[in-house]
Amino acid sequence: MKIFSDDFQKIKLDVILNAIEKDGFFFCKNAINNDLINQIELDVSKNRFSINKNWISGVYTKNQYFLTNILGCSKSFFDLVTEKKVFEICNEYMKGSDYRLKAVRYYETYGRHKMLWHTDNKVDRKFQEIPGLIFIAYMSDVNDGEFQYIKNSHKFSVETKVNNYDNEFINKNFSENVVSFPGSKGDLIIYNTYGIHRAKPIKKNKNFVRKSLFFQIDNGKEHGEPILLNTSFLTNIDKRISNFLGFGSNPDSKLYPNTDIQTLPIKHIINRSLLKLVLRSLISTIVPNFLKKIIKNKINK
């Protein structure tokens, strides 16, 4: 299956790299083949959420959903992050040195989510001077809650060495430099991790869901989140791909986000199978044995 659209394939590397160098970002409409996106969406739906299933599952926070271990269950996503053009962009950007896939995710952002302005050149929340690129692809039309980036901020964030910024500071100093990226399914943003950015808080529609893909590639081999990979996806293991996926390198960062049962909105626990389970165990403890036998005999007749 085609991964990137012809429109994106036709764009010269120079154009992409010059834009990232000059503004901090490159935006391409309709960059990813819609059939690939549909396939990823199907993979997500098959692995969306489960309790006590011996397989990969997504996780919820209060206002977001994440399938972080998507490389364990989506061949199409694997094909996207390892596409030739991704490597070509990274080869140029990292100027011949090693690079590694630092983080990946499919995620959904809901109406009430608030994201601070921030940069992504960090390791476990600490500012780092490690060059990196992030690819964000829209999986649905995004008319609100879109990605925003402060043009040129990749050039000056290193002076203060600060990762997070409050709204007041941004409004006062950079309101004219904010670039917003409303878009459609298949659009792609590639940005320098040193730049200040956020997802715009959703105002118009509290039931809104933004579906996106994210992958970050950092310079060097030292840093990365653990990757759970379905080995059947990898048909040719050369040095480049084994470095890229972090084979044999310590996963020194924690998976994002950090979740447990406490971060799970209650509506995702109370579902039909849980109710069935509770009912079954209640009946099994309350109903006396002789009655159970009678019911069983009736059913088996």
Ligand X SMILES: O=C(O)CCC(=O)C(=O)O
- Residue 212's binding partner out of ligand X, Fe ion, none, with CB under 5 to 8 Å set by partner kind: ligand X
Q: Please report, as a single letter, which amino acid is at residue 93.
A: Y
Per-residue binding string, ligand X, 46-65, x by CB under 6 A, is --------------------
Token match 């933004």: residue?
210
Question: Is the separation of the CB atoms in 132 and 219 below 8 Å?
Answer: yes
According to DSSP, residue 51 is labeled S
Measured distance CA(215)–CA(72) in Å, rounded: 15
Q: For ligand X, which residue of 16, 90, 199, 202 counts as binding (CB under 6 A)? A: 199
Q: For ligand X, which residue of 120, 187, 218, 225 counts as binding (CB under 6 A)? A: 120
Judged by beta carbon, residue 120 or residue 146, the one nearer Fe ion is 120
Judged by beta carbon, residue 91 or residue 164, the one nearer ligand X is 164
Q: How far is the CB of 133 from ligand X (least distance, A)?
A: 13
Q: Collapsing DSSP states into helix, strand and coil, what is residue 157?
A: helix
Measured distance CA(62)–CA(13) in Å, rounded: 39
Question: Is the separation of the CB atoms in 88 and 240 below 8 Å?
Answer: no
Judged by beta carbon, residue 47 or residue 212, the one nearer ligand X is 212
Q: Tokens for 234? A: 């990898």
Measured distance CA(226)–CA(188) in Å, rounded: 25
- Residue 165's binding partner out of ligand X, Fe ion, none, with CB under 5 to 8 Å set by partner kind: none
212 binds ligand X (CB under 6 A): yes
- Residue 147's binding partner out of Fe ion, ligand X, none, with CB under 5 to 8 Å set by partner kind: ligand X
The beta strand positions in the chain, using DSSP E, are 25-28, 59-60, 64-67, 99-110, 117-118, 122-123, 126-127, 132-138, 142-150, 164-165, 178-183, 188-192, 197-199, 209-219
- Kindly tell me the burial class for residue 130, based on how many C-beta atoms sit within 10 Å of its own C-beta (0-12, 13-18, 19 or more): middle
Q: Tokens for 276? A: 């069935």
Per-residue binding string, Fe ion, 119-158, x by CB under 5 A, is -x--------------------------------------
- Residue 214's binding partner out of Fe ion, ligand X, none, with CB under 5 to 8 Å set by partner kind: ligand X
Per-residue binding string, ligand X, 136-155, x by CB under 6 A, is x----------x--------
Judged by beta carbon, residue 43 or residue 120, the one nearer Fe ion is 120
- Residue 78's binding partner out of Fe ion, ligand X, none, with CB under 5 to 8 Å set by partner kind: none
Q: Collapsing DSSP states into helix, strand and coil, what is residue 229?
A: coil
218 binds Fe ion (CB under 5 A): no
Judged by beta carbon, residue 154 or residue 197, the one nearer ligand X is 197
Q: For ligand X, which residue of 197, 202, 224, 245 counts as binding (CB under 6 A)? A: 197
Nearest alpha-carbon partner for 151 in 131, 173, 126, 184: 173
Judged by beta carbon, residue 105 or residue 293, the one nearer ligand X is 105
Site residues (vs Fe ion, CB under 5 A): 120
Residues found near ligand X in the complex (CB under 6 A): 120, 136, 147, 197, 199, 212, 214
